[in-house]
Amino acid sequence: MEHRYLPMTAQDKEAMLKTIGVDSIEELFSDIPEKVRFKGEYNLKPAKSESALLKELSRLAAKNADHRNYASFLGAGVYDHYKPVIVDHVISRSEFYTAYTPYQPEISQGELQAIFEFQTMIAELTGMEIANSSMYDGGTALAEAGMLAAGHTKRKKILVSQAVHPESREVVRSYALGQSIEVEEVPLKDGVTDAGALKELLDGDVAAVMIQYPNFFGQVENLKALEPVIHDSGALFVVSANPLALGALEAPGNFGADITVGDAQPFGIPEAFGGPHCGYFAVSKKLMRKVPGRLVGETVDEEGRRGFVLTLQAREQHIRRDKATSNICSNQALNALAASVAMTALGKKGVREMAVQNIAKTRYMKQQLEGAGLSVEFGGAHFNELTVKLGKSVKALNVRLLEQGIIGGYDLGRTYDGLQGHVLVAVTEQRTKEEIDLFVQELAAFVQEKEAAHA
């Protein structure tokens, strides 16, 4: 058959079969026993031409309410942020996106250097000494942090704050199950980790305490107050941080975090229905040889030129096999490149400015909501998310908002028992004053409507 991805001609094929010394391609499959041979044809949709497929899939895509046509107030771990246009141009250079893992450094210096720069930027933002080349996402990075901590401390219990993203907590539990690690949750108090309860739960069996910063409700956890409590017990202090927020918030490394993880999605990475995003993993120097995933290090070539290589590979699965510290192989290299380009474009000044804009817009939203008589829960400092008490169905609110061209917030009742009728609202720098005002107006009108209307 002819296909634009298959260059062999009938003549080529014939010449090649002759060289091999067989009469047909079929002969090359003669080692597959008759009993397991697939007979017949796959029952799949037939091939489509390029134009026809583009048309079909663009129609399918158009069935979704995307954020070019809708203003999104949905966050909960994934955000609609400013993406410098240059990001997509860089990652569309196929020398990057069609390459494999840089195992041949002489022809992979571009990728290796880009990762080295990524490691540096993440280390800078988090205030940690070392960052790796990326993980799948923030949730699995957190789970790997738990495994690292258990291995390092030889303890078998993890405490995770209930203010950590509910789906990340689930992933932590799944990984912990494999390692027979016990997971306990630290309750909340006014929307942040209950420090008193944490103290009660801490004992000599705890390998790690996991805190999200800012937490799932957008509240800024007081890492400074939590750190001594955690370290006094001998547990590792694990922080899951939104790297954008670190433009305004003090770095976890400066509060003594042992491991800081998170997701670099806010830096130039599309929401893409939840992935691929870009986990990051940063540690203090003492944990360097236990970091999961790939690390790029600087070295020199035979003539003394600076160059970069994958290093400390003795930690990794392809060398250590069943003794490896993690099974991760593929990571999120291309998205780490995207995040690097975004962090470069934003730079020292822009990251701070963008973080502060998020705070300013969220504060404006809070004032408007309160001005409209709505109840914004939890009194602490916010980054770019707020919890609003509706006392009514969040789903119904979101249906109404959709009609106004708005993607509404996250229904906290889905995952928090005490928070039925509460919505988590995200306000990024992308939301205009006009959109925020409309959102508040609709929300206020919805809450004031008689319950019966939506019963």
Pick one of 190, 301, 370, 449: the residue that binds other proteins (CB under 8 A).
Answer: 301
Binding of other proteins by 326 (CB under 8 A): yes
CA nearest 67: which of 440, 355, 431, 438?
Answer: 431
Interacting positions 402-441 with other proteins (CB under 8 A): 402, 407-408, 410, 429-430, 432-433, 436
Q: Please state, in angstroms and as integers, the Cα–Cα distance from residue 154 to each residue in 146, 149, 178, 180, following that order.
A: 12, 8, 16, 12
Pick one of 210, 259, 264, 309: the residue that binds other proteins (CB under 8 A).
Answer: 309
Size of site (CB under 8 A) for other proteins = 209
Q: Which amino acid appears at position 259 of this protein?
A: I
CB of 326 to other proteins, least distance (A): 7
Q: Is the peptide bond before 214 cis (omega within 30 degrees of 0)?
A: yes
- Span near other proteins by CB under 8 A; candidates 72-80, 152-160, 232-240, 441-449: 72-80
Interacting positions 270-289 with other proteins (CB under 8 A): 270-276, 288
Q: How far apart are the first and last CA of the chain?
A: 60
Q: Which amino acid appears at position 379 of this protein?
A: G
When the beta carbons of 51 and 204 are compared against other proteins, the nearer one is 51
CB burial class (10 A; 0-12, 13-18, 19+) of residue 444?
Answer: middle
CB of 105 to other proteins, least distance (A): 5
CA nearest 215: which of 284, 138, 147?
Answer: 138
- Span near other proteins by CB under 8 A; candidates 78-86, 185-193, 198-206, 228-236: 78-86
Report d(CA 313, CA 307) in Å as an integer: 17
Q: How many other C-beta atoms lie within 10 A of the C-beta of residue 318?
A: 10
CB of 98 to other proteins, least distance (A): 3
Report d(CA 215, CA 226) in Å as an integer: 14
Q: Are 377 and 418 in contact (CB under 8 A)?
A: no
When the beta carbons of 113 and 404 are compared against other proteins, the nearer one is 113
Q: Quote the tokens at residue 150.
A: 């258990």
- Span near other proteins by CB under 8 A; candidates 51-59, 192-200, 202-210, 231-239: 51-59
CB of 94 to other proteins, least distance (A): 4
When the beta carbons of 119 and 161 are compared against other proteins, the nearer one is 119
Report d(CA 69, CA 13) in Å as an integer: 50
When the beta carbons of 50 and 417 are compared against other proteins, the nearer one is 50
When the beta carbons of 1 and 450 are compared against other proteins, the nearer one is 1
Interacting positions 221-250 with other proteins (CB under 8 A): 222-224, 246-250
Report d(CA 99, CA 252) in Å as an integer: 34
Q: How many other C-beta atoms lie within 10 A of the C-beta of residue 288?
A: 14
CA nearest 259: which of 216, 314, 209, 294?
Answer: 209
Q: Are 253 and 260 in contact (CB under 8 A)?
A: yes
Interacting positions 26-45 with other proteins (CB under 8 A): 27-33, 35-38, 41-45
Interacting positions 128-187 with other proteins (CB under 8 A): 129-131, 133-134, 136-140, 147, 165, 167-168, 170-171, 173-175, 177-180
Interacting positions 350-389 with other proteins (CB under 8 A): 350-354, 356-357, 359-361, 363-364, 381-382
